[in-house]
A and B are shown apart, each in its own frame.
Chain A
């Protein structure tokens, strides 16, 4: 077996050194009734070529986003990732390192995490960021728990246009922490009904912008209202590229900003791994209540600048049942991919990338809403928007697949039994003019 260096002779010599005659002697603590006497019912080992063939066959049954006009978003976005990013994250020293618990031989990981934290803080307009969470949805859940700890309150208000999977994840996360979660109805035209839910018991109000329908929101007024009641504002985003063009959560008064970082540096990967971004204000109480790892600056014994994991007493491995979160890992390699892509983009590249995304979406929105019976329902958006169709969106999507176009997501997939005529469409820099034209033509044909 190619991954196992020991030879039969090695094994024999080692058993002798240990002082036993067979490997079975090392498993005698296993209760007899639970010892397997033969191999489990699974195929035997295979060569590289065999495995490659089997996996490739499964892969071939899927339609890659790059192979068709592709407009699916709602929490994960198709962007071009520079070749440099994928090369660098496959460097052995990044790919096959563990959590940087030994800072003397982990400065590569630690410094890149410090750069990542700084980039996320800048991008969100917040003061500090952690070293990443599993993904945007779990970051959202953790943010609600953190707000409850900081405010010592037990009620969270969610906007109805928060991605329903984020809302569901948050409910699961908070379910047994005695946090009461209330949600407004999904509103395609604004933030109706949210302000009324905020009261003096409210720990936080959670608003996504751009929201799941692609609509942008100015949080300023709602932040003012929340702060009057002593509640925190958690701003959520699922498309990090949007921050290149729109006001940051910090600028709009958010106290905590969380979101999905996949759109920068990380591929679609059928839903994971992704990278959750988590940033907040520079307030001692906030920082001490942050979930997840933090890299911090310090000096070594020679006085040279270096980085370590810090404020670990918040974390489970020290604080155990009093930890701020049970989280153990971050999303290290995806955070690295995010950082490298962001470094390659820089401000200049990011703002241009964001502009191109927006323009492509505007162009597509105009094309599609010019079709009879199709109405654009989001009047301000970044690279994603909602259309009202004259037919149920789910059936239209299926018909589009037949035309070779992956035309978005039916809102009813996210809100079962509701919004059946709403189609959510995303456009990015990866969509050519031909893609837009193909979508328009196909949609005209299937309606």
Chain B
């Protein structure tokens, strides 16, 4: 018999119980590898970047040269690669599966967008380099602005806001500036539906306004009688999300616009849900005065684990003059483009900008990605995308309405809203239900928002999910509702058990905040 003929068992022996060996020596669980903090891995004298030896020139730092140690550990390149790749694997992502966060619009992020944003002509240009060397960058901003104005049916857009909330601030500051220009000092009340995003009231306050909540009616929309009763000569305007945070189109939106205008106020539209109507409805035709557009939602720039966003804000004729600096204008000879950066650059044009919102011109890296996406889709594809987003959400609503409880009757726009009535007396909460979805390989839907619905579950599939994918998702949710109703509450309350971590103690984190790593006491004493 030759040396290499010994067989090895390839199946689990029948007398072994694999379930009995959960703990490991390393804390890792197979491909799920435990990874300590960088500060516990690295050291001060290790670097993963090769740099030439300094020449030893006499320094000219005056009396502020650093003498002490900073305390920043480094890792070699292979160690750094492993550290962050391992950490990345503890994240859910749209590239891994359906990410049905209502109001957040987690759609596919095309990689062509990434490639275009990295062209040196966009990625490697400085915001203040001489204007004759960045004409292509100005053209790109102008082209994206044109697409946004055409799609929204508005005559102006401020490109510099850095995120959706920053766009809200831009819009409300323009409203405040317009009121100031009219000499209206008593208009400080802003009407905000109870279902609004928290950014709306927070933004209004930052503009010196105060908020007055409008209740929702039984259909989940603005209660028109309550709205009318709140109009008056102290009203600065209304902040309204449309489609609203219940996933419904505000049927009376034109009347709302007319009434707020008649009352002397302005209409701020929160454009977070513009993705439901692109190509089918132009918000300008609905009577809005300002609306931000989340490029990271509607136009697929990646969310990046919480930013960066980008929030260009469109304006009506009435607010356009107040748009913030800087913005692209044509040079006097019309032959090229320049950036109006200071008040003196717009003298005599009729523009009275309310100020500047950020150091430079906005999120160029996001502009490139968004324009790439928009040109890829074209006018036809953008319309189809909105329709498919609405179709997918309604398909989920139709598929689950017999086992879950839709918050409102009828069809929805791009997101389906359920409440927790179907969990009544099961001992399972909305939170438990969501955590059980994690074990099934899905990211949970948005929970407990909007506030107007008890135990809200807001599901937004987006247009980039296939029908078969939605069918599998609905089957899983149906199965979970059946399990909840069958009395398996403990399974929900324990969930997740298959995620990289089990439920985390957020109370402990808030009661005794630990917001950074600190060296172990023994080290610190040295």
A–B touching in complex (CB under 8 Å)? yes
The winner among A134, A325, A348 for most chain B CB atoms within 10 A is A134
Q: A105 and B92: CB pair below 8 A?
A: yes
Q: Which of A19, A62, A109, A127 contacts B125 (CB 8 A)?
A: A62
A-B contact count (CB 8 A): 718
Q: Are A272 and B121 in contact (CB under 8 A)?
A: no
- Let me know if A150 is at the binding interface, CB within 8 A: no
The reply to whether A55 and B359 contact each other, CB–CB distance below 8 Å, is: no
Complex partner residue of B308 from A136, A329, A344, CB under 8 angstroms: A329
Inter-chain CA distance A359–B385, complex, in Å, is 54
Is A36 touching B65 in the complex (CB atoms < 8 A)? Answer: no
> Which of A193-201, A224-232, A378-386, A437-445 touches B?
A378-386
Known contacts A55-B372, A122-B72, A299-B504; is A362 also within 8 Å of B60 by CB? yes
Kindly list chain B residues whose C-beta atoms are within 8 Å of the C-beta of A315: 198
Cβ-neighbour of B69 out of A115, A296, A347, A417 (below 8 A): A347
Q: Is residue B45 contacting chain A, with contact meaning CB distance below 8 A? A: yes
Q: Mark A334-350, 1 if CB is under 8 A from B, else 0.
A: 10100010111111111
User: B66 within 8 Å of A by Cβ?
Assistant: yes
**Residue from B90, B124, B305 within 8 A of A98 (CB atoms):** B305
**Would B44 and A347 count as touching, CB distance under 8 A?**
yes
CB <8 Å contact, A108 and B140: no
B64 and A216 contacting across the interface, CB-CB below 8 Å: yes
CA distance A44 to B374 in the complex (A): 10
Contact A326–B71 (Cβ < 8 Å): no
Query: Is A27 touching B280 in the complex (CB atoms < 8 A)?
Result: yes
Q: Is A391 among interface residues, defined by CB-CB distance under 8 A?
A: no
Which of chain A's residues 300-329 have a Cβ closer than 8 Å to chain B?
Answer: 300-302, 304, 306-308, 310-313, 315-323, 325-329
Bound-state Cα–Cα, A100 to B380, Å? 34
Minimum CB–CB distance for B96 against chain A, Å: 7
Query: Quick check: is A352 within 8 A (CB to CB) of the other chain?
Result: yes
B91 touches A93 (CB 8 A): yes
Q: Are A114 and B516 in contact (CB under 8 A)?
A: yes
* A40 contacts B48, C-beta separation under 8 Å: no
Q: A40-B150, A93-B93 are in contact. Are A118 and B517 (CB under 8 A)?
A: yes
Q: Is the CB of B162 within 8 A of A118?
A: no
Residues of chain A in range 166-201 having any CB-CB distance to chain B below 8 Å? 166, 168-169, 171-173, 175-178
**Is there contact, CB below 8 Å, between A328 and B513?**
no
Known: A269-B365, A273-B365. A34 touches B129 (CB 8 A): no
Task: Flag if A345 contacts B74 (CB, 8 Å).
Answer: yes
Q: Once the chains are docked, how many angstroms separate the CA of A424 from the CA of B218? A: 62
Closest to A67 in B: B120
> B206 touches which one: A96, A176, A398 (CB < 8 A)?
A176
Q: How far is the CA of A165 from the CA of B127 in the complex (A)?
A: 12
Shortest Cβ distance from residue A247 to the other chain B in the assembled complex, whole angstroms: 5
Beta-carbon contact of B99 and A98 below 8 Å = yes
Do residues B306 and A100 form an inter-chain contact, with CB atoms below 8 A? yes
From A10, A379, A382, name the one whose CB has the most chain B CB atoms within 10 angstroms.
A10
Determine whether the beta carbon of A244 is less than 8 Å from that of B70.
yes
Which of A269, A318, A417 is packed against the most chain B CB atoms within 10 Å? A269
A109 touches B124 (CB 8 A): no
Question: Bound state CA distance, A171 and B208, in angstroms?
Answer: 14
The distance from the CB of A261 to the nearest CB of chain B, in whole angstroms, is 12
In the complex, A417→B343 CA distance in Å? Answer: 12
Q: Is the CB of A84 within 8 A of B286?
A: no
Tell me the smallest distance from the CB of B46 to a CB of chain A, in Å: 6
Closest chain-B Cβ to A183's Cβ sits at a distance in Å of 14
Taking the nearest CB of chain A, how far is it from the CB of B504, in angstroms? 5
With A270-B364, A323-B202, A382-B61 known as contacts, the answer to whether A45 contacts B381 (CB < 8 A) is yes
Choose one: B61, B109, B341, B391; the contact of A11 (CB below 8 Å): B391
A359 / chain B contacts, CB cutoff of 8 Å: 54-55, 57
| Contact string against A for B residues 190-204, beta-carbon threshold 8 Å, 1 for contact and 0 otherwise | 000000011101111
Q: Mark B354-379, 1 if CB is under 8 A from A, else 0.
A: 11111111111110100110111111
Assess whether B306 is in contact with A109, with CB atoms less than 8 Å apart: yes
A371 at the interface (CB under 8 A from B): no
How many Å lie between the Cα of A139 and that of B247 in the bound state? 33
Instruction: Give A434 to B143 CA distance when docked, in angstroms.
Output: 37
Is B137 located at the chain interface by the 8 A CB criterion?
Answer: yes
Known contacts being A41-B150, A172-B324, A216-B62, is A88 close to B123, with CB within 8 Å? no
Q: How far is the CB of B451 from chain A (nearest CB, A)?
A: 9
Chain B residues positioned under 8 Å from A93 (CB to CB)? 88-93, 95-96
Asked whether any CB of chain A lies closer than 8 Å to the CB of B15, the reply is no
Contact A121 B92 (CB under 8 A): no
When the two chains form their complex, are residues B165 and A316 in contact, meaning their CB atoms are under 8 A apart? Answer: yes
The answer to whether A310 and B64 touch (CB under 8 A), given A39-B380, A67-B120, A333-B304, is no
Q: Determine the distance from Cα of A325 to Cα of B385 in the docked complex, in whole angstroms.
A: 34
Task: Say whether A104 contacts B466, CB under 8 Å.
Answer: no
Given contacts A75-B128, A362-B57, contact A105 B379 (CB under 8 A): no
Give complex CA distance A41, B378 in Å: 10
Alpha-carbon distance A108/B501, docked complex (angstroms): 11
Contact with B along A107-128 (1 / 0, CB 8 A): 1110110110111011100011
Tell me, in angstroms, the Cα distance from A193 to B44 when the chains sit together: 41
Q: In the complex, which residues of chain A have a beta carbon less than 8 angstroms from the beta carbon of B127?
A: 75-76, 268, 270-272
CA A272 to CA B137, docked complex, whole Å:
12
Find residues 252-305 in chain A having any chain B CB closer than 8 Å to their own CB. 252, 260, 267-273, 275, 287, 293-302, 304
Q: Is the CB of B308 within 8 A of A272?
A: yes
Residue from B38, B110, B136 in contact with A3 in the complex, judged by beta carbons closer than 8 Å: B110
B199 and A326 contacting across the interface, CB-CB below 8 Å: yes
Judge whether B378 and A46 touch: CB under 8 Å.
yes
With A176-B208, A326-B168 in contact, is A296–B248 under 8 Å at CB? Answer: no
Residues in B whose Cβ lies below 8 Å from that of A18: 391, 394-395, 397-398, 411
What are the residues of chain B within 8 A of A92 when measuring CB–CB?
93-96
Contact indicator B42/A346 (Cβ below 8 Å): yes
- Is residue A137 contacting chain B, with contact meaning CB distance below 8 A? yes
Check B150 against A26 for contact (C-beta < 8 Å): no
Proximity string of chain A (24-35) to chain B, C-beta cutoff 8 Å, 1 when within and 0 when not: 011101110111
A346 x B46 contact (CB < 8 A): yes
**Other-chain residue from A43, A348, A365 in contact with B45 (beta carbon distance below 8 A):** A348
| Interface residue? B285 (CB, 8 A) | yes
User: Which residues from A are CB-within-8-Å of B491?
Assistant: none
Which of B58, B125, B165, B206 has the largest count of A CB atoms less than 10 A from its CB?
B125
New contact pairs (18) apart from A311-B513, A326-B165, A345-B74, CB-CB < 8 Å: A10-B467, A18-B397, A39-B279, A51-B116, A59-B122, A63-B133, A93-B92, A99-B303, A104-B499, A107-B90, A134-B307, A134-B308, A272-B308, A321-B210, A323-B202, A332-B307, A346-B43, A359-B55
Provide 14 A-B residue pairs closer than 8 Å at the C-beta atoms, listed in order of the A residue: A6-B466, A18-B411, A23-B391, A40-B150, A45-B381, A55-B140, A98-B303, A107-B501, A122-B72, A169-B355, A244-B70, A245-B65, A344-B77, A363-B57
Q: Closest 5 A-B residue pairs measured CB to CB?
A: A346-B74, A59-B121, A271-B360, A61-B136, A333-B304
